[in-house]
A and B are shown apart, each in its own frame.
Chain A
């Protein structure tokens, strides 16, 4: 059974119905508290953005993107959601638009009614009228169900997605998009049209320069809030590192 927002009845028509059908909180495992270093990095990017824009008004829809998988986009986007929710007292929705990381319980809807699986996981809560929390996370989560990546392009082109974001924007101060790799899954480019800004994540020693150049070229129309070089590790001794800037 799909959860519906409080105040909505099953069978309502229009955008709210679609939202009700789509916004079904999935029981996402909170694998671990967000890394303090990642949260510090995100915090710094937010401060820098505020300093450069001269206002505390952060972009509403922030996409965390990378060129390929495994760079730490989910970690960064979760940390961003946590910082925004706990330190900025914002209502935050974290949308996992990447591949499903864990097996989902049964009860998913079809693509015709919802691009994301509407699940009825034990302990899951919907965002409307309830403390938007799953486990220890202080923010709401919204994850894609059993939608194959090949259909993501179809989802991103659904008019319902536009209505969905419109409705979500009225309910949440910030929407954090955990997007698929933009190079390997080009469908996410369409998904990113709903982003107001993006944070680029690259993995040290893994992400190629060409990939970053290509990804940046694809993202050139979206304002950037900064980049994170994740999983940085150097074997140079400390006395050697002193000679360099990092």
Chain B
């Protein structure tokens, strides 16, 4: 027997929270075998699922994201490293961002020989994304790794991703210079045409002039016209030369940018083909643990729901609150007495 007493509800030594927790715990232990059913079932399902996990081959390349401080680095748009992240973190993030694009994945798939499988619907781009990724491995190094059911594909995936990202960097680096080359090439063509026209005009004008006798001088108008045409021809030639110079400079810049961008990602450890599949025990344990956690969550939700829906008096404080009576005595069940009563039926005559 235990008791609670006091004046009013505030005098009880239990809070609504602890009272609910007590009912929650008691509710669980009252039907623990029912609440363990989802845990056991999902654990079994998790074990069954974990058994289907097969080991995959893993290949990886270790790259360096450091740059030479003595060399001027190209400013490649879209590849900026945030102040809050290390070079390895930033580069890994950029590679993973590229892996989210279909164009990059298609390029990787093409280089890996998986494009046909994608077209045939045997695998999806998501399968490649799920098995290919980059992660920082220290402050300056990062790791690009791929897993696949066969070692060759895993190896090729890493190579393709690494090369593809390098090409992407080069493409970005030379993009401005190539635009300049295209611009100046057009200018050079226009200027060249103008030079041809000016030369034709000059030649035509000169041919139309009469032959001068000895000691005779050309008319001033003719001389001025020849000078004007010659000047136009010279300007056109200057423009052609200027355009050619700009083209040469842009091409040099592009080559320099391509070279610099290549230096931004240096392969430290080239990917190699895995001999054995990766151990799967960790993955299997993770799957089983996740299923068990799901079962526990379902069991907890069931306990919570049944406790919330249970409107019966289960604690002393519940009775005190509902009745407004301060003094509450708890009389525990005495199983021995109950059994004894059931075993000994009442005989009226004997009792009398």
Among A38-46, A88-96, A176-184, which stretch is in contact with chain B?
A38-46
Inter-chain contacts of B330 with A (CB < 8 A): 41, 204, 228-229, 232, 246
B5 CB within 8 Å of chain A: yes
Given contacts A245-B4, A245-B13, contact A230 B327 (CB under 8 A): no
Q: Does A108 contact B (CB under 8 A)?
A: no
B337 within 8 Å of A (CB atoms)? yes
Question: Does B214 belong to the interface (CB within 8 Å)?
Answer: no
Are A229 and B325 neighbours in the complex by a CB distance under 8 Å?
A: no
B204 within 8 A of A: no
Q: List 10 A-B contacts (CB under 8 A).
A: A31-B351, A41-B329, A72-B331, A204-B330, A208-B312, A216-B322, A216-B325, A224-B325, A229-B316, A233-B332
Assess whether A205 is in contact with B1, with CB atoms less than 8 Å apart. Answer: no
B52 on interface, CB distance cutoff 8 Å: no
Known: A32-B341, A216-B323. A209 touches B351 (CB 8 A): no
1/0 per position for B311-346, CB-CB distance to A under 8 A? Answer: 111111111101111111111111001001100101
Q: Which residues of A contact B29 (CB under 8 A)?
A: 234-237, 240
Residues in A neighbouring B32, C-beta threshold 8 A: 235
- Contacting A134 at CB < 8 Å: which of B26, B337, B341, B352? B352
* B343 nearest CB across to chain A (Å): 11
Residue B211 CB within 8 A of the other chain: no
Tell me the smallest distance from the CB of B337 to a CB of chain A, in Å.
6
Q: Are B26 and A212 in contact (CB under 8 A)?
A: no
Q: For the complex of A and B, list the 10 residue pairs with the smallest distance between their C-beta atoms, beginning with the closest.
A: A123-B352, A226-B327, A29-B351, A235-B29, A27-B352, A212-B322, A41-B329, A233-B333, A29-B346, A244-B22
Instruction: Confirm or deny: B77 has a beta carbon within 8 angstroms of a beta carbon on chain A.
Output: no
B1, B32, B329, B351: most-surrounded residue (chain A CB, <10 A): B329
- Asked whether, in the complex, the Cβ of A37 is within 8 Å of the Cβ of B1, the reply is yes
* B275 in the interface (beta carbon within 8 A): no
Shortest distance in angstroms between A154's beta carbon and chain B's nearest beta carbon? Answer: 28
Identify which of residues 156-205 in chain A touch chain B, using a CB-to-CB cut-off of 8 Å: 200, 202-205
Interface size on B, residues (CB 8 A): 48
Which A residues touch B223, using CB under 8 A? none
Cβ–Cβ contact A37 & B320, under 8 A: no
Interchain CB contact under 8 A, A32 and B337? yes
Q: List chain A residues, Cβ under 8 A from B322.
A: 209, 212-213, 216
Q: Are B1 and A212 in touch, CB under 8 angstroms?
A: no
User: Is B207 close to A, CB under 8 A?
Assistant: no
Chain A count of residues within 8 A CB distance of the other chain: 56
The verdict on A228 contacting B331 (CB below 8 Å), with A103-B348, A235-B29 known, is yes
Nearest opposing residue in chain B for A33, CB measure: B337
Which residues of the partner chain A approach B14 to less than 8 Å between Cβ atoms?
Answer: 244-245
Chain A residue numbers with a CB within 8 Å of B320 are 227
Which interface residue of B13, B312, B317 has the most chain A CB atoms within 10 A?
B312
Nearest residue in A to B22 (C-beta to C-beta)?
A244
- CB pair A232–B333 under 8 Å, yes or no, is yes
Residue B2 lies at the interface, judged by CB distance under 8 Å to chain A: yes
Q: Are A44 and B313 in contact (CB under 8 A)?
A: no
Q: B268 at interface (Cβ–Cβ under 8 A)? A: no
In the complex, whether B18 has a CB less than 8 A from a CB of chain A is yes
Q: Is B68 an interface residue (CB 8 A)?
A: no
Name the residue on B nearest A212 (C-beta). Answer: B322
* Known contacts A38-B331, A41-B331, A208-B311; 19 further A-B pairs (Cβ under 8 A): A28-B351, A29-B351, A29-B352, A35-B337, A37-B331, A102-B346, A200-B325, A202-B319, A202-B323, A204-B330, A209-B318, A212-B323, A215-B323, A224-B323, A229-B329, A231-B331, A234-B26, A244-B14, A244-B25
Query: Which residues in B have their C-beta under 8 angstroms from that of A229?
Result: 313, 316, 319, 328-331
- B352's partner among A31, A122, A202, A215 (CB-CB below 8 A) is A122
User: B331 near A207 (CB under 8 angstroms)?
Assistant: no
Contact A122 B349 (CB under 8 A): yes
**B325 adjacent to A204 (CB under 8 Å):** no
Cβ of A107 within 8 Å of any chain B Cβ, yes or no, is no
- Contact residues in B for A123 (Cβ distance below 8 Å): 352
A71-115 Cβ-contact flags toward B at 8 Å (1 or 0) = 010000000000000000000000000000011000000000000
Interface string of B235-263 (1 = CB under 8 A from A): 00000000000000000000000000000
A128 at the interface (CB under 8 A from B): no
- A40's nearest neighbour on chain B, judged by CB, is B1
Residue of A nearest to B326 (CB): A226
**Which residues from chain B contact A131 at a C-beta distance below 8 Å?**
none
Q: Is B220 on the interface with A (CB-CB < 8 A)? A: no
Instruction: Give chain A nearest CB distance to B323 CB in angstroms.
Output: 4
Given that A200-B325, A229-B316 are contacting pairs, would A31 and B333 also be in contact in the complex, using a CB cutoff of 8 Å? no
A37 and B332 contact, CB distance less than 8 A:
yes
A63-B323 Cα distance, complex, nearest whole Å: 16
Give A48 to B6 CA distance when docked, in angstroms: 10
